[in-house]
Each structure stands twice: as structure tokens, then as C-alpha cells.
Amino acid sequence: MTTTKRHSSRERLLETLRTLISELDYQTVLQSVISVASELTNSEVASILKYDEADEHLHFVAVPWFQRESIQGVRVPLEESIAGWVYLNGKTLVIQDVKEDKRFYSEVDQTAKFQTNSVLAVPLLVKGKPIGVIEAINKTNRAHYNGEDVLILETLASQVALIIENMTLEQRTAQTQAAADQLEQMKKDFIAIASHELRTPLGLILGHSTFLREVIDEEHHEQLDTIIRSGAKLKEIIENLSNVENFQSGAARIRMRKFSLSNLVTKVAKSFLESAKEKKVNLHLDAKNSELLIEGDAEKIGIAVSNLLKNAITFTSEGGHVFIATEQIPGYAKVTVIDDGIGIPAKDLPHIFERFYQAESHLTRQHGGMGLGLSVAKVMIELHDGRIWAESVPDRGSQFVFLLPLDRDQNAAAERVFQV
């Protein structure tokens, strides 16, 4: 090869490599590669094969257009083919006359009605591991493949290997995502069906249990109280599941009206006085500013406050304290729930608002629950364009805070306050 021609080939190769880097469509890239491989090595055709772990054969992933229909589906064995030898050994192979080589796999020629005379085959390696083979077939004018041809094909092979590996990873990612989407849909269907089917019998259980408690002897009240408490707990779980699912599916709706946040927090806190007293936890309230008005769905904000208070009381030991306060800061209403309970480990803190997440601690696991309360609180606050977060020190307690914009159009400012 003359110096001028060699220089031209290298320029063409560099141009191809630049194209490979910029092109996003993998199949277009691979077709360009075999076209350039044929041109630069002066070969009749070129092809790319990829190893399929499922059937342990090589499969063509790029062939000339006129052979596409005939050989695209051909499976090339590893033990009885030139391409298979190159793949297994991870070495470049040049065969000037395939009739003299027992490794030649003739079925491809028979299927494509083509005659192979000479082959230059290079392995596609990723981190030293073979994933396929690129071949140049039949150097024109019965010439022999030389070192320049080998260099060209090996250079192309290094890039093609990365492209195919990326393509494979993207396909696996897409398959994983599809499977995850299917599981997510199954989960949504299950929650919707379970919630719907459980509500009616549960309502009957609670209704009849409450009625029976009023008419039977007092000696049986304890058993009925257990049934009623268990039914109420199950109802709470169902409502939490529905609340989270409705939010994520976009089905959640809020009824906007002006209301006093301080009055709402006071009402919710009073509903927990009895449970706090039973556990011998001191509940303190600071929500005196009844003029702290916000626009939103009072019922949903009440659910958030209720879940935060329940969580604080649950994880505060006998003799401990739970504080809840409301205040107005520039542009926002702020609610803070503080306890001096068991706290949250640092590794768990970033995940506590996730559905079904529970800290893996014997002190937390013993309290039961499904890990939905905090995720529901987060949902309710975010429905109002608010922000919620937590701070905690293990064995010293936790602080949960949420902000609700007094003017919901000031979302950008809300982001700044939250970051501070």
C-alpha cells in the first residue's frame, strides 16, 4: 500500500471513529462500521457477530444489506467455525484460503449463496473478555490480508466492542425497567382491589362490634374492645395505602378552603391526649395563634399532623416528652413535632419517608406497623406544595418539621427556605 493511500485510509478510519462517538442509533453505527471495514480492507463484505449466552452461539448483528434476510438468523457455533475460534481464543485470525482450514463453517455460505475465500477475523473485547467478532471477507483480486488490514480492523473492533456492550447494557436496563413497571402496576392493582374489597367487610365488623358492645354484658367489653381496636388499625392501614397510591397515580384531590392551622393542630393534639396519658408520655402543645390561616385541605393536613404525632408518641419511652408547635415565618406556616424518644439511626434517616420503610432496630420493629405513616404525611404536605423533613440523634430524639406556603404561588421561595 502506498504512503498516500495509507494516509487516506487512516483519515477515513479517524472519520469513522468520530462518527461512532457521535451517532446515537446503534444499528446505524454497526452498519456504517461494516461498510467502512469492507472499504478500508478492500474486502467484498464484512460482518459483526455477537455471542448469545442464552443459546451459546454467535449471531449476526450487522451484515451487508443484500445478505440481511438470508443470514441474519443464522447461528454460528463456537467449536466449528472461524469466528468461534477467534471468540474463544480472543485472538485475531487471518486465513488466506478457507478451503484449507477445517474451522470454516460453510452453512453461512450455503444459506447466503455466497463463496468465502479469505477471512480476517478480530475479537471484540471488553476489559479483556470477548463479546463477539468482526470479520472482513474476501480481499479483492485474491490478494492477501496484511498488517495494515489487521490494524484497521482491530482499531474498529475496539470501538465496536464498546458500542455493543453499551447496547447490551441499555437493553438489559430497558428489560429491567419493563419488569419493574409491570410489578408496579401489579402492586397498584393489588392495592386498589384489596382496599376496595376490604372496606365493606371491615365496615360491617366495626359497625356490629360497636353495636354489640352497647348491648352485651360488661364482662365481654374487653374482648370487643380488642376487635374494635384491631379493626380500626386495619382501617388505618387501608386508608394509608389508598392515600399514598392516589397521590402517586394522580388521583388524589384536595379541597381548598381557608382554615386556622393552629386550631387544626390543637384539635389533632387533643385527640392524642388519652393515648399519650396511657403511655405516660407528656404531650405539650404550643399553637396559640388562631389567626394563622392557610388555604388547603384541612382533613389532609390533619392526617399529616396526626401521623407525625402518633409516630412521636409511639417511639417515646415512658416519662418522655412530645412537643408540637405552630408558628408563622415569612411566607410560610411552620409545624414542628419534637420528641425525646429513641431517635433514628443516621443510615435510616434518608429513607424514613419511603413507603413501607422501617428502621431495622429491635426498638422500632417491636412497635409493628407497615412503615406508611411518614410516607402518608409527606404525601399530604406535598399535595399542598409544602416541604417536610426530619432531624434526629439516636437515643436523644427526633424533630419533624413541615412548611406550608401561605401563598402557594411562591414555590421558588419555598425552595430557598427549605434549603436554608
- State residue 280's pLDDT score: 94
- State residue 299's pLDDT score: 87
- State residue 147's pLDDT score: 92
Q: Helix, strand, or coil here: 313?
A: helix
Distance CA 281, CA 275 (A): 9
For the sheet with 321-329, list strands across it: 282-286, 321-329, 332-339, 397-405, 387-393
Burial class (CB in 10 A: 0-12, 13-18, 19+), 379: buried
Burial class (CB in 10 A: 0-12, 13-18, 19+), 302: middle
Conformation bin of residue 356: beta by default, left when phi > 0, alpha when psi is -120 to 50: left
Instruction: Indicate the CATH number of 257-419 among 3.30.565.10, 3.40.1080.10, 1.10.3720.10, 3.20.20.100.
Output: 3.30.565.10
Distance CA 213, CA 227 (A): 10
Helix (H) or strand (E) holding 296: strand 293-296
- State residue 198's pLDDT score: 73
- State residue 418's pLDDT score: 42
- State residue 414's pLDDT score: 44
Strands 282-286 and 75-76: unpaired
What global pTM score does this model have? 0.50
- Exposure string of 237-252, with b = 16+ CB inside 10 Å and e = fewer, is bbebbbbbbbbeeeeb
As a dihedral over the C-alpha atoms of residue 209, residue 210, residue 216, residue 217, rounded to 10 degrees, the angle is: 110
- State residue 359's pLDDT score: 58
- Exposure string of 269-286, with b = 16+ CB inside 10 Å and e = fewer, is beebeeebeebebebebe
- State residue 412's pLDDT score: 44
10-residue stretch averages of pLDDT, the chain, 420 residues long? 55 62 71 90 94 93 89 90 96 94 92 94 94 95 93 90 86 87 76 69 82 83 82 72 61 79 94 92 87 89 92 92 94 95 90 73 47 83 92 93 81 45
**Largest interatomic CA distance in the chain:** 110
Distance CA 19, CA 12 (A): 11
- The CATH architecture to which 3-175 belongs is 2-Layer Sandwich (3.30)
- State residue 134's pLDDT score: 96
Distance CA 34, CA 235 (A): 64
